[in-house]
Structure 1
Amino acid sequence: METQPPSSLLSILLQTAEADSDEETEGTIEALRARDPTLQIPLENPAMLNQHSYHIDHFEAVFPDNQMPDFGITSALADDLADFEWRVDDDTAIADDRPEMTCELERDLDANELPYTTVPIFKANVIGEPETVGYLKFICQVVPEGMRRDKSKIEDLKNAIEEAKNLTVRVYALSAHSLLARSAVRDPRAYLWLTNGPEHLEGFHTVRDSSNAVLSRNPEFNKCYQLDCFFPECTLLSVSVMNRTSGSLADEAIGRTLIDLEDRWFHPRWRQLMQSDKQIPIEERQLLTDGSLLSHGTFRGWCEVLTAEDAQLRPVESLMSQEAEPFQIRIVVWKCRNIPLDSQKTVSVFVRGIFTNDDGKTVDQDTDTHWNSQDGTATFNWRFVFMVDVPPKFPTLKFQVWNRNIISANDALSECTVDLGGDLLKARKRKDIVKLPQAWLRMTHPAYPQQARGDVHVEISIVPKLMATQSPVGKGREEPNKDPHLPAVTENRQYITTTGFALRMSDYAKEAEKRWKRMMMSMLAAVLVLAIILQQYMLDLPKTVVIVELCGVALLVLYIVFFMR
């Protein structure tokens, strides 16, 4: 299929963004699709086209060789297009990524949109303090006398209750993090215990997965659990993280989180999310214990509530295996800038990369040294290569900037920590290379709070081990030097030639050379003057000849004075 020139594509987008009526908008959209059927317009709002339009065939289909042609855009039009952004599919995008939240989903669901009101039920304890023993959900309507009641909400609620007679709950358990057991064990044998109703109910309402315990404070589960459900008996879903103990009668409860399935089922926004695949977000829920507000870790996952018919039509989503997979992290350190001198005339910079393995041991690699930088800049073109098992226990990479000293110990100037957890999981899910774009990392130091301590320019790639074996790269600037090629650096790579003493000696040598040349030229001028005087007395030359020779000597003296400073 032939693609139209990009200038026509841009002009149509501009016309669409400037359309004043729905009819004009529809016409421009149809014309745009007619020119290129592969162009997708996901939003109906034409004003958002400049932010959300994208091309299936990637940037190359619109601009061959990644070169944007000259559209002849005037300065006025450039100001109008200041916020224009080309959204194209790059090699780091994942089409089926599920949205993720750092808190419980109910915090994002407005309780006022529920068709009923929820209030707590209190009971006094033995010392007279009120305790919550349950919740009452009700509908209360107050209408003027003689006015008919609006029964539409009640009828809708009745229909939803009838539909909830036979439901299926799917809990997708991904992982738990920072588990804190009461027994203070370093690495608990964690497993999940799920319940959504009393044991006497008919059906499958509890799962105790003690046979798949994971020895870790940050266990990966990646399993889907399915339970039967009907309201109001199965309103609360309890997800408990347990510690399987040995030598005791009962396992230890690390913490649990409660999900009100009824509130979700009757919430209009939740029902909308359930109608679309991949829209139920991943939640990060706090794990609590009875009578305590202290978090004992977090549970990461999501849940779905389906009718029996929908459960048959929608297959269970496959999750990643719990087995760790080897990957290679490739980091290119290009350069540094704004490194503080700290009252010194020069600083000798090198960058250290530190990664922590699952066994807690750190692996560090250093660049070569950029000696005696006088302005806080340094160039390296250096590659770090780390092997890591994904998912790792410690998914962070630390960069440190050091000042190398010859006699005393090296000085730590600044540092920065980069969390690669999401990118590592993305590479594992895709089983492909994930490249992070080049970026300047802002460096800090705990002894200098709120103060920038330089920037490091890096580029990071995460490569599956098989691909890394098929296309290896060398550390530093060693061969194979590719992806990307790292040019050799010769500036400031010798300590002696870049020290202040060496620079001063070089200046002295240049000055001595200039003085020696001036002295030799001055002696030459004196010899010429003496020769002219001797010629005058011995040969009795004409005065004109003597004047010409003296003018030549004068020019030589002027050259020495003005051009040999």
Structure 2
Amino acid sequence: MYTPPIVVKVIDHRPFGRKPVVGQCTISCLEEFRCDPYVIVSEGARASKSEFQFLKEKETVDWWSKFYASVGDQERCGPYTSKGYDTLKVYDCELENVDDFKGLTDFCNTFKLQRGKNENGDEDPTVVGEFKGAFKVYPLPDDPSVAAPPRQFRELPESGPQECLVRIYVVRAIDLQPKDNNGRCDPYIKISVGRNTVDDRDNYLPNTLNPVFGRMFEKTCFLPQDKDLKIAVYDYDLLTRDEKVGETVIDLENRFLSRYNSYCGLPQTYCISGINQWRDQLKPSQILENLARLKGLSKPRMEDNGTSLTFNGKDYTLAQFENNTEIHQHLGPPRERLCLHVLRTQGLVPEHVETRTLYSSFQPNLSQGRLQMWVDVFPKSIGLPGPPFDITPRKPKKFFLRAVIWNTTDVTLDETSITGENMSDIYVKGWMPGMEEDKQKTDVHYRSLDGDGNFNWRFVFGFDYLPAEQLCLVSKKEHFWSLDNTEFRIPPKLLLQIWDNDKFSLDDYLGMLELDLRKLVPPAKTPEKCSLDMMDNLEIGTPDKLMTAKSLFAQQSVRGWWPCSIEQDGKRVLGGKVEMTLEIVSEAEADERPAGKGRDEPNMNPKLDFPNRPETSFFWFTNPCKTMKFIIWRRFKWVFIGLIILIIVVLFIAILLYSLPVRANYITWKYMSFNNHTICFFFWSFYP
């Protein structure tokens, strides 16, 4: 209560004895600096160099699998969690704002230096710099003969500049402030530390407010001179000056000096290979020894070949940490694994991703978006760190979907011919969502009188696929005036439609089939077993005949019958059945086993012959002979036969009469009166 404030002044020594005050700060309350002098805490120090052997192994998962598993996105993480690999901590705020780490100012505090008073004697709040320091306030014993408390500031870092390697991992941005007229922006990263600036303008991401950067920047700096790391997000513009979206600043010195080991977070396990390979300069055992020394504790004691350890009066065993965890091939020796598990019980910073708010100088108190990232700081005096993480955004792989349309059956007969027959001119149309410009359709099976259609027609759809996320990556322009393509992630699906072909009016829609290639509905082996129920009731049935959806990417090829449906009176009814073969091939396999669209060359894998369609399948307008044979004659043949017979009889009689040798002799006219009516009779006499 009665402690006077501490005033810190920075004085500039100039020629001729001038010593003006550059800036000063007043620390009015010292309560937060009170401490127990007999409790020794870590103040941050570094020690010897360590070496690693770096092993390279092709993984079925990547760093993004780890990230998505950590945020709970099970669809994108793939089989990562089932392998027993590490996850990381994703903080929804800045690391220095996490309560457990006390602002990362446990070693020293930062005080703003103000100018003080101006030439007129008025208070000048202008900030001219920063002062970093620490205070320890504790009582001295009243008796001078009692020994003074132990020295508080020990194991101080070197007072000279420290050359450090800084790795900045920028993962993604969330909800950026729009900067373009379309309500989006074209963001890219700009990083500055000291006098070094990295402009990543060439790698801007068009038309997005939630860009996935996946960028790692490696810079060298000197602490404390280059303590401020600035990460800014800019909006790319082609014709005008790029506009800053927002910026965040990280104090590297605080992270370097903090006793919470914030320079490089501790992972969950010690791995010597794989995507979670140890990247710190010191092994876990070395870090634990340094921590014990800084806390004034005895050196950790290892027993049982490194599977048990005694630290700070407590016994630890490797089994208590790894009893229920899966042991994989990337783990290091038991000694280092156990030391790492013990370190994680000491409240140190774990391997993490922090979420930093971006601010603009024009609106300093308003968020311009958030940036998910983290920073590693390694002093070069200790040695080289481990290899950096590869957080490059996932690259899609080229795949091809080959769908061979063999036959259709039970298709709705939508038309009535001129002869009164129910019929349909059937064809099938197909495409993948998001790639509607690549719609394909079969040729037409004309005059199907029983709902059957024969095609032997191949659809070939090329698409970019992200196997880890099980999504298609579609890149296209939203509008014809757009300068850049916009990327979309869409589930891989196949849409098929059955249509009735009309030459002089709009085609009639008969039914649709939608198949998710990730969870493909098993087809029916025969058309009789094909029904709409198989599309809805996948998980019903006896245990030995349970229908389950399987990924076409795992099966690679499947053939059978699927039902097509159509809405009628608010209900879904059967519109037809399609027999087809579905096959997924990679780009390399497509080169080895080529196949053309339709029945075009290269017509192979498999070879498709022209379908054996009935003779009644033809287009009447282009086939008058077949029209007469299969439409008119088949429908009205007895009428035609009767007419022909009648015509023949009439002609026969006419010819007979015409050919008789007759001659008119005379005509006799007779008149008579009957009931006041005059009647005329004539007689035509013939002679042979």
Instruction: Give the TM-score normalised by the residue count of structure 2.
Output: 0.35
Tell me which protein shows more helix as a share of its residues.
1
Which is higher, the Rg of structure 1 or of structure 2? 2
Higher relative CO (Cα under 8 Å, sequence separation at least 6) belongs to 2
Instruction: Give the TM-score normalised by the residue count of structure 1.
Output: 0.41
Tell me which protein shows more strand as a share of its residues.
2
